[in-house]
Amino acid sequence: MKIIQYPSPNFNERPLAAKIDCVVLHYTDVATLDEALQILTDPNRESRVSCHYVIDEDGSIYQLVPAEKRAWHAGVSSLEGRENVNDFSIGIELQNGGYYAGYALTGSWPEFPDAQINALKELLNHLMTKFPITIERIVGHEHVAPKLKIDPGPAFPWGKIRKI
């Protein structure tokens, strides 16, 4: 698995006792990978954001923040009663027009190509060997922030991911 390093300054330390045990999946909600990388590495935005990995539609994987550090992707969130999901999760963004660069413009949700999903599965397998992440704890942003977020959205093929 080839991972392209593309460091973002947008991260901080995880709390000392935090154990990484889940993955949060997102769509980028913008038209191009370049646009996504720009946003996720910009130190000057009013609300600075990042994630650990970005996967392009062709399956290229970019690492923006080391897994051991706390990336800023989930915002106000909770999982199984635990708040601040950024503290204990790995965040993966999938390049996909989502709502704003997809559904809102065309009336249909952009698909996630097989090459992208295969790369995601490979990355998830790797992360599950490295950290105590179970299949049930591979979740969407929509699951940890249901009132605020809808990504990775209705086009995301959960069936393919659950079969890892």
Which residue in 143, 68, 58, 56 sits closest to 92, CA to CA? 56
- Clarify whether 93 is annotated catalytic: yes
- DSSP letters, 74-92, are S-S-EETTEE-GGGTEEEE
Whole-number Cα distances in Å, 45 to 9, 13, 42, 155: 12, 20, 6, 29
User: 17 or 146, CB closer to Zn ion?
Assistant: 146
Least distance CB 16 / Zn ion (angstroms): 26
* Catalytic-labelled residue, pool 93, 111, 122, 136: 93
User: 40 or 61, CB closer to Zn ion?
Assistant: 40
d(CA 143, CA 14): 21
Least distance CB 17 / Zn ion (angstroms): 25
Residues lying near Zn ion in the complex (CB under 5 A) are found at: 26, 141, 151
User: 72 or 131, CB closer to Zn ion?
Assistant: 72
Active-site residues, by number, are 93
